[in-house]
Chain A
């Protein structure tokens, strides 16, 4: 049976995610209330403002924050894009703002600077096949570090947003990083710093739908295959180094 995917609809680019899910022949449902989560098999947390979503979930009429935590603890798949990845993270650099703290990653908000350094580029993501993916980053966050159970799926060069620019100074800390993680998975949780919902290439959403429908798209999971997982990760680093350094 085709699955039903909820899209958290408190704020952000909800319609775009619904369009991607529907293009894959699955049902998309907008979620504003905790009770609506009972009827869905997976949840997408869209792009938007993380401080807004923190406020609207904490101060919600029916405690949707707790219900999303239960949903995750029950092993149901959740995919966060951009703001969604911040909201799922255990740690947010320099901020105590509300978050689900479900995924063992440390994120930096708005890592590439103001909107004029937002960009699109192509990423090689092996689990999605050979064809590179057009990835759009909008004041995007990055993952600075990830725990052992997290599979790194894509990286970009740390200075990528400024490659075409002659003005504007880099934050000093950025020089500490050669590359940033921009897509990762930890068991039932998937995050990307970029916005596949803004394009007509639905491979990332298809990957997520397969997670929901328990068809493992590729061997990237951790656990006892930790060693293999880290090999995969380093291979990804290498291919990304080729693609974006």
Chain B
């Protein structure tokens, strides 16, 4: 909730305003946000040039392997990671679990991921993100889902992809879907927009805004299954503004080298020579699992609506 105070001389100071919340993700553009499970990994990520880290107890690949209910991380772990780096720290709350989000905000995290990677706490309602002082990032598979989350106050969107697989196919599918729908919207006659908004289940005002501007009103990243520099560059060329890498770095043979390679690939995504150079001798990538081999009960992207 935006807080406005008047100082002694009457000059307004606003924290948590929509502008201030949307500005943080704007500063992360062109960058890589890396999943880390302790302070040591956070420092490696920072040294490799990550623009932010995502603090969590288990990376998605381990959540898949170990099963069980997956929740917000221990505040002690989150605080230790915050203390260990100078870059922004994000953390995940379960879908609909606004109390986990309140706790994370009070810990001083810079952005909350309302994430399908954790076990949803509410199958009907997502968090009212407009109530918070810090920005939220939410996953989406299509434009309707992205605009519903933005309508609830999300300040950043990412593809859901299929986390913890090392298979980029779902992130590609979701990015192409979202960007393709934006393109078709931008040439749609105005009289068709209300029906379109109804069809995709999105707030009409946001549909109008996207039709006018030809882009989402918030920053749009890729996430879910990105494991190599080429994967990161592929997502950037498709048209996202930055990438999240979850299990792909610290589940690989040489995390330091791979982390830096993915950072460079995200900046020089249009330069095959640089991509070839940074992709050399990276060691073993994470052991992947094809998204198509997952049973319906194992997919994470279908969590949330």
Contacts and interface: CB of A to CB of B under 8 A. Distances in A.
Contacts of B273: 61
Given A32-B267, A165-B3, 18 more contacts: A10-B267, A12-B27, A48-B29, A52-B87, A59-B264, A61-B273, A95-B86, A109-B86, A114-B110, A115-B24, A116-B105, A116-B134, A136-B19, A139-B27, A164-B5, A195-B23, A198-B19, A198-B26
B26 A13 contact: yes
A139 B24 CA distance: 8
A82 interface: yes
Interface of B: 3-5, 7-9, 11-17, 19-20, 23-24, 26-31, 46-52, 82, 86-88, 105-106, 108-111, 133-135, 260, 263-264, 267-268, 271, 273-274, 277
A145 to B, nearest CB: 20
Contacts of B52: 49
B4 A164 contact: yes
Contacts of A51: 46-47, 49, 86-87
B49 A116 contact: no
B5 A61 contact: no
A51 B48 CA distance: 9
B161 to A, nearest CB: 22
Nearest to A199: B19
Contacts of B31: 11-12, 48-49, 52
A87 to B, nearest CB: 13
Contacts of A2: none
A242 B9 contact: yes
Interface in A12-27: 12-16
17 contacts: A32-B267, A49-B87, A49-B88, A52-B50, A55-B48, A61-B277, A109-B86, A115-B24, A118-B23, A118-B24, A120-B14, A122-B12, A136-B19, A160-B7, A198-B19, A242-B9, A245-B8
A167 B3 CA distance: 13
A14 B277 CA distance: 25
Given A32-B267, A119-B14, A165-B3, A13 B27 contact: yes
Contacts of A10: 30, 267
B41 to A, nearest CB: 15
A119 B13 contact: yes
A56 B260 CA distance: 9
B263 A55 contact: yes
A14 B31 CA distance: 12
Contacts of A160: 7, 13
Nearest to B109: A114
B88 A167 contact: no
A121 B9 CA distance: 13
B19 A120 contact: yes
Contact of B135 (A115, A117, A195): A115
B57 to A, nearest CB: 21
Interface string A136-174: 101100000000000000000100110111011000000
A244 interface: yes
